[in-house]
Amino acid sequence: MRVSRLYVSTPLNVGSRVELDDDAAHYVRSVLRLKQDQTIVLFNGQGGEYLGRFSEVSRKAVRVEIEQFVDRDVESLLAVSLGLGISRGDRMDWAVQKAVELGVSQLTPLVTERCVIKFNDDKKQQRLQHWQGIVQHAAEQSGRTRVPVLGEIAHLENWAGEQPGLRVFLDPYADQTLADLQPENNRVTLLSGPEGGFSDRERQAAKSVGFIPVRMGARILRTETAVLSALSAVQTLWGDFN
């Protein structure tokens, strides 16, 4: 039987007892419906994971006794940063979830000229918390022992000039493909636009700081499809898909 996995933000050590926070406790009781003496895998993003057993599952508290450390690592040797133009609703959620499953190491939501979502400060924090939950749950589901970094919402121009490694942006009208390029120091930064794509000014701004336009085949892909295609391609070319 598959053992459930759960991310926690607390230190983990063999022989210690961990009390889950309210959200995690509710998830264990009401969603997973786990009981006392059943097992669970915990990880805190610091590497490896811990096999534990519930010593208490009640309305009052959910506690786990840590029994064993498993030195397990499923991270790609290719470090992939993703700048993702903010798209509407489920498209953005889906892209964030699948990017984590495909091994992205850092993800930054970007405000672009054709972004149809407008944020005030309160709304920004709400969306970041929402996306952080998606990142954590995707890491749990996919067996990752490190949680990708979710950056603050940024404007494309402010973000683009600070990125390391091979820098590429997805452009259906580009001449080059990823197969024409090579990563720098096992690092790749991908830039993908929202539903309406990038403006001409944004294309020029990205190119001026070293981003190379690449196409993903002969067809125009939806924003969420383009992201998954690009991540799969870089993992196949230079990461852990080969």
Q: Which of 165, 168, 167 is nearest to 187 (CA)?
A: 165
Q: Which CATH architecture has domain 5-70?
A: Beta Barrel (2.40)
Please state the domain extents for the chain. Answer: 5-70, 79-237
Average pLDDT over residues 227-234: 94
Instruction: Tell me whether residue 76 is exposed, middle or buried, using C-beta atoms within 10 angstroms of its C-beta: 0 to 12, 13 to 18, 19 or more.
Output: middle
Q: How confident is the model at residue 1 (pLDDT cuts 50, 70, 90)?
A: low
Q: How confident is the model at residue 133 (pLDDT cuts 50, 70, 90)?
A: very high
Average pLDDT over residues 53-78: 94
Q: How confident is the model at residue 7 (pLDDT cuts 50, 70, 90)?
A: very high
Nearest-angstrom CA–CA distance, 236 and 215: 16
Structure confidence at residue 186 (pLDDT): 93
Nearest-angstrom CA–CA distance, 123 and 128: 9
Say if CB 238 and CB 183 are below 8 A apart. yes
Task: Tell me the pLDDT of the chain averaged across its residues.
Answer: 92
Say if CB 42 and CB 66 are below 8 A apart. yes
The model's pLDDT over 141-184, given as tens digits with 9 standing for 90+, comes to: 999 999 999 999 999 989 998 898 999 999 988 999 999 999 98
pTM of the model: 0.90
Q: What share of the chain is helix, strand, coil (3-state, %, to 5)?
A: 30, 25, 40
Q: Which of 73, 65, 83 is nearest to 45 (CA)?
A: 73
Tell me: pLDDT of 89 over 80.
Answer: no
CATH number of 79-237: 3.40.1280.10
Q: What element of type H or E holds 82? A: strand 79-85
Tell me: pLDDT of 2 over 90.
Answer: no
Say if CB 86 and CB 117 are below 8 A apart. yes
The model's pLDDT over 201-214, given as tens digits with 9 standing for 90+, comes to: 999 999 999 999 99
Structure confidence at residue 115 (pLDDT): 79
Average pLDDT over residues 36-45: 94
Structure confidence at residue 222 (pLDDT): 87
Tell me: pLDDT of 220 over 90.
Answer: no
